[in-house]
Structures are given as C-alpha cells and as structure tokens.
Structure 1
Amino acid sequence: MAIEGDSSNSGKNGVIPVTNVVVEEPEFTDIIENITVPAGRNVKLACSVKNLGSYKVAWMHFEQSAILTVHNHVITRNPRISVTHDKHDKHRTWFLHINNVQEEDKGRYMCQINTVTAKTQFGYLHVVVPPNIDDSLSSSDIIVREGSNVTLKCRATGSPTPTVKWKRDDNSKIAINKSLNVHEWDGDSLEISRISRLDMGAYLCIASNGVPPTVSKRIKVSVDFPPMLWIPHQLIGVPSGANVTLECFTEAHPCLRFKEYFTVEWIPPMLWIPHQLIGVPSGANVTLECFTEAHPTSLNYWTLGEGQMIHDSKKFKSETTLGNPSYKTHMRLTIFNTSQSDENSYKCVAKNPRGETDGAIRLYVSPPTTISPGPATTESQRRDTWDTRGSINNTTNGHPSVYILDKNSRMSSNLNDIGKSEQKSTDNSKGYNLPIEISKV
C-alpha cells in the first residue's frame, strides 16, 4: 500500500510531506513435508512464513475440521498437541508437535495465515501401526473329533492392513482336503476338511504389514479318536515250560487315567491284529503283540480269557511303548516257560474317553515232540503236531495267522503266511468260528 503527497506545496499549505510506504503481505517460504511415523513416536510439522507482521498462524486437522493452535495458543483439548516457533529465524517457522502419535492422528494438516483472503498449505501425516493379533476374535487351542471339519481364525489389525498366512509349527504340509496339501496358506481363516490324527499339532498364524515386528499366534489342535490295536501274533504255540511274551500295539488320544475309565461313555473303537493264532513248543518263551491308535492316549492292559487281568509276575511280563506319533502304542506280553496250562485266549484291551477295543490272541502249546523211526516230511510233522487239536476257532474278526515257535530255534515261522491284519471294532459281534487250515510250506 502506498500513500502519496506533493512536497512542493507543503510549505504553503502547511501539509507535512509523506513518503511512499509499501507493506508486503506474508508468504509461505517452504512446503510442509509429508511425514510417515510409527504409532507411539513423536512428530513435528513445520510451517515457515515471512513478512508475518501482525498476522497470525494457525494449525488445523483438515479431516477432523479441528482447530489445533492459533499463534502461541493451543486450542484443542488434546494434551498431546503443542506449538512452538523460532523468533530468531529470518523466516519464522511455526512447529506443530504431536506426542505419542496414534493411528487417528493420520491425515492432512493445514497451516493457515489469517490474511483477508486466508493463505493455506497442507502436509500429510502417515501413521503406520505394527500388526497385532486380536485374541478375542482369533481361535485358541482346540480339541476336535477325527473326521470333523475345522476352521481356525486369525484376526489382525494394523496400518497398513496386515496380511495373514498359516504354517505348521513343524514345517510339515497343511492338509486342506484330500487333494490339496500346502506348506503355507494365505488368509485370516484356515479350513481343514475331515481332519485326521495326522493333522494334529501346532499351527502358526503369522501377521505382517511391512512395519516391524511381525507377530504370530500358536494354536494347538488336538484330534481325538477311539483306540485302535494291532496284534502281530494272535495264535502262539510254545513248548511246556518255556517263557512266552504276548504283544499288543495301541494308538489312542486323549490319554486316560485308570480312575477315569469307569465314568466315561465309551464309543466303539477299531482294532488291528496281525496274528491271531500262535503255537509254541512247551518250555519256550513267547511274546504276544498288539498295536493300537487312540487320542487321548488309551489305558492298555492284558486279560486272560474273558476277564482276569494279567499282572507282572514270574510267569508274565507286560510292556507298553509309545510310538511316533504319540497316539500310537505298542503292547507286548511275554509268557515265560510255557506249559499246557498256558493254553488260552489272551486279550489286549485299550480304553479312552472316546471308545474301547480289545483283541484276542489264541495261544497253543505243543508237547515235546518225539522222533519217529522213519523219515517224516515237514508237512507231516506239522500235521501230527496240530491234527490232535482239530479246527482252531477264531474269536475275532478277519483271517487269523498261525505262528509256530520252535523251542530250539530263535526263528518263528508263519505257517499259513496269510499276511493280513485284523481290524476290529466293538460294534462287531463276537464269536466268529473260522476254521484254520495250515497251508503247505
């Protein structure tokens, strides 16, 4: 603005001479830089102005339509906001301070000079937030029945929006369904169709968005299934006076304490018995075997005939070995110095809260053999040994296999070489009578 006068007439008219005065309006001297800051940090936005004069500078949050500061005064009630300026700077710079930045602080910030026509400029504040998994909206450790469908959920927050992927803790493949197995799965949900015991284990939900740190959640999946048994030899023959060991392998999950087994409701399980009939010469030792699968791990024991539980003694020794995976169990029963009185049906039993199963092994003990004067073939010797007993009745489902143990040899021979295992469920009726024919060797 300029004010002009005539100095030549000043003396005559008594007017004080006036010189030309030019007043410059304020201007911005620099842009407001866009800033990216992690949540929780402090940030400072700068607005530089020259020729401010008596005008004032104000800071506003544009998206929130909120006036934050005017000149040296803080208008907002947000205690994290403050303002400072450098008086000694040729171009005075006004700083907007935001402490402990939160995600809601993101957006455009406007620096304004209150001229007649307001002058403004903008700077953008980007707030990045590390990923966080919301436990209240995500799955936790679960126990499911084998064969059911399972959905695991993992909800993550952050800015930018995190991506979620799934892995197994042991780096094995994830079985999405029968035809799809993957090492990793993307998405905040993981669906497994008809889950099996092989899918049991820990699953990792991993969330990342480029802002460290990456976070993960470990979800343990337990798969319950009825006990299952494998019996390598169901018919065992030993000579009188020999020791014999009976074996049974089990798999079960969950594990059952003995005191619990009287109070739970049982579900029919399954059973595998490799050998149902075992023959040994008198005086030999023999081991019966049984294999089971169950989860929780089953309570395993042996019985004699239909009921009497077998305890360790000079005559019997039972062993139970956990397999890999842990839901597999190998049961063994050794009978020492077998005699005719040891001929019986031996049962391996497995129980857990999901079911109960048992498998029978028939043991035959042959008397000491005598050598006939004339030559005898292997076939006739076996027929002489077994024909006196007639047909052997099988009390379990499937085709039994016959094992003969020679007292003078460490080798046992499978006479009928069937090579089939028995799979049994408590749903099956008992009392199958299957005659056993000893095949030629």
Structure 2
Amino acid sequence: MRCAQGDVVTHTAWLNRSSILYAGEDKWSVDPRVSLVTLNQEEFTIKIENVDMTDEVPPKIINLSRDIVVNEGSNVTLMCQASGKPEPSISWKLISSSGKRWPHDLRLVLNTGDLASDDEYLEIPSISRQRAGTYECTAVNDIDTDVQTVDITVNYAPTVSEGRDVGVTLGQRGVLECEADAVPEADFEWYKDDRRIFNGFDGMEIVNTGSLSKLTFFNVSDGDYGNYTCVAINKLGSSDTSFLLYGEYRNLLHL
C-alpha cells in the first residue's frame, strides 16, 4: 500500500483503524506479515503479505445486473453482490428517472414481500414507465464504500396528445402537429379521411423529429380542408388522434 507524500510532510504513519502499523520507520505492529518498503519525501509504502479473510478489506461489488430493456408491466429483479471484510451492507436507490432526481431511497423488497435494507436483490413487480431510469447499488462496510449503477429502459406503446383543430385562410400556410409519448420512439402515419398521405403529396410536407410529427400545407386550397388523422406506431402498439383543417370562414357561421 502506497501513500504519496510531499516536502511539507514531517510525520507519517500507517494505521489499521485504531491500531498503528508503522510510525515513520518504527514498526508498531507485531504482525510479521507487515513490512516497510519505502519511506522518503515522495512516498511511504508498506507491504502486507498473505492477506486472508481475517484481514479487513474494503467492499467491492463483484456481481451486478447488466443494463436491461423490458416491456412495461414486466417483473424486474436486480442483483448486486459484494465482497469485503466486514461483510458489506447493500442498499439501492433510483437516482434518475426521465432526467429528474428522485430524493428517496428504494427499500429492498424480498420475494416474501418483506422490506429489508441488507439484501442483494431489488424486486420491481409490474414495472411502470415512471420507474425507468438509473438505479444505484451501494456496498458499505466500516472501511469504505463501492457504488455502481444499472440502467433500466421500459418500453411502452404510444399515446398521442389530443389533436388541435386549425383554421387557415386560403393560400396561406398551415401546420398540424402530432406529439406521441412512446419507447421506443414512434413512427408516424398521416391520413386524410381513409387515404394515407405521403411526404410531398399535393404540396404537403411531413417532418418527423423525435416525438413530434408535423404536417405542413404551404398553400392551402379548398381541397385541403377536411379531417386528418395522425397514427403513432411502435412495436408495442399504436395510438391515433384526429384534426380538422378548416377555413377561417367557418368561425363566421357561429356568429
């Protein structure tokens, strides 16, 4: 074990918790396995031979679940095993979900349904999209702490925001916007009545950016007015919403 030193250091010692092993060149420990290797202005290094399970060892996480992708509603089990002397305790925390910090720790849930704070398994029954995120496993003993993380991605079918009707004057530009919440991200399809619209069709443009799809009319004509449907699709399902593109004269009919 090496301890770096500087010119300003005047006294150095190695301790095992409250027991002094070496104070400078003086050996205080009666353990024959402990010996001085180097003592100068740059470093103070000792060696401990034949380390065994009776020696104190900082915790080290040796077996951790890999990052996983699951469908919403699945049962998830995370495992975190650690070595160390004294035996480390294990705790779990959800440290981020959809970019938001979670202030509370998640207690460990055993298969019996009892709560515990010293078990290596974290059970998440019927996982929801709100519990997707980064989970942190912490192993602690009297010597030190080890921390590692696991990412859980939760897939779910799209849900689309309610369509908003848009009024546009003849010859003007109009835009219909369709937003979908989905993992993985949704693909979009647009329809007028029962006829699918493709990009460039009749002067229309479809632009998809992440969770948002825009249908743009650059020069609205009488034939453009009517009912439109946006469908968001991923491998888990689909969802749709409807829009009405109308001329501004429509408002006059209600006066």
Provide TM-score, normalisation by structure 1: 0.41
Which consecutive aligned stretches of 4+ in structure 1 deviate over 6 angstroms post-superposition?
34-37
User: Match of 1:148, as an amino acid?
Assistant: S
Show the counterpart of 2:9: none
Distance 2:166 2:19 in 1: 82
Distance 1:98 1:229 in 2: 64
Q: Structure 1 309/129 Cα, relative in aligned 2: closer, same or farther at 3 Å?
A: same
User: Does 2:128 correspond to 1:210?
Assistant: no
Show the counterpart of 1:139: 65
Show the counterpart of 1:191: 123
Q: 1:172 aligns with which of 101, 121, 127?
A: 101
Q: 1:316 aligns with which of 204, 208, 217?
A: 204
Distance 2:207 2:135 in 1: 33
Q: 1:299 aligns with which of 168, 187, 205?
A: 187
Task: Tell me the CA shift for residue 352 of structure 1.
Answer: 1.2
Show the counterpart of 1:222: 153
Report if the CA contact (8 A) 1:172-1:183 is conserved. no
Distance 1:349 1:36 in 2: 72
User: Does 2:166 correspond to 1:240?
Assistant: no
Show the counterpart of 2:42: none
Distance 1:196 1:98 in 2: 50
Report if the CA contact (8 A) 2:225-2:245 is conserved. yes
Show the counterpart of 2:50: 100
Show the counterpart of 2:31: 45
Show the counterpart of 1:201: 133
Q: How does 1:17-416 map to 2 (within 5 A)?
A: 45=31, 99-103=49-53, 106=54, 127-135=55-63, 138-170=64-96, 172-173=101-102, 182-183=104-105, 185=107, 186-187=117-118, 188-212=120-144, 214-233=145-164, 235-250=165-180, 293-312=181-200, 315-322=203-210, 329-365=211-247, 381-383=252-254
1 or 2, which has the higher strand percentage?
2
Where structure 2 has 5 or more consecutive residues not aligned to the other structure, the ranges are: 1-17, 22-28, 34-46, 108-116
Equivalent residue pairs, number: 206
Task: Tell me the CA shift for residue 168 of structure 1.
Answer: 2.7
Distance 2:106 2:88 in 1: 16
Distance 1:383 1:344 in 2: 18
Instruction: For CA contacts below 8 A with separation 6 or more, give which structure has more relative contact order.
Output: 2
Distance 2:19 2:92 in 1: 33
User: Matched residue of 2:253: which SS?
Assistant: helix
Q: Percent identity?
A: 32
Task: Tell me the CA shift for residue 239 of structure 1.
Answer: 2.7
User: Matched residue of 1:345: which SS?
Assistant: strand
Task: Tell me the CA shift for residue 44 of structure 1.
Answer: 5.5
Distance 1:194 1:318 in 2: 37
Task: Tell me the CA shift for residue 294 of structure 1.
Answer: 0.9
Distance 1:340 1:231 in 2: 25
Provide TM-score, normalisation by structure 2: 0.67
Report if the CA contact (8 A) 2:175-2:216 is conserved. yes
Report if the CA contact (8 A) 2:163-2:178 is conserved. yes
**What is the RMSD computed on CA atoms of the aligned residues?**
3.3
Where structure 1 has 5 or more consecutive residues not aligned to the other structure, the ranges are: 1-33, 38-42, 47-79, 81-96, 107-126, 175-181, 251-292, 323-328, 370-377, 385-441
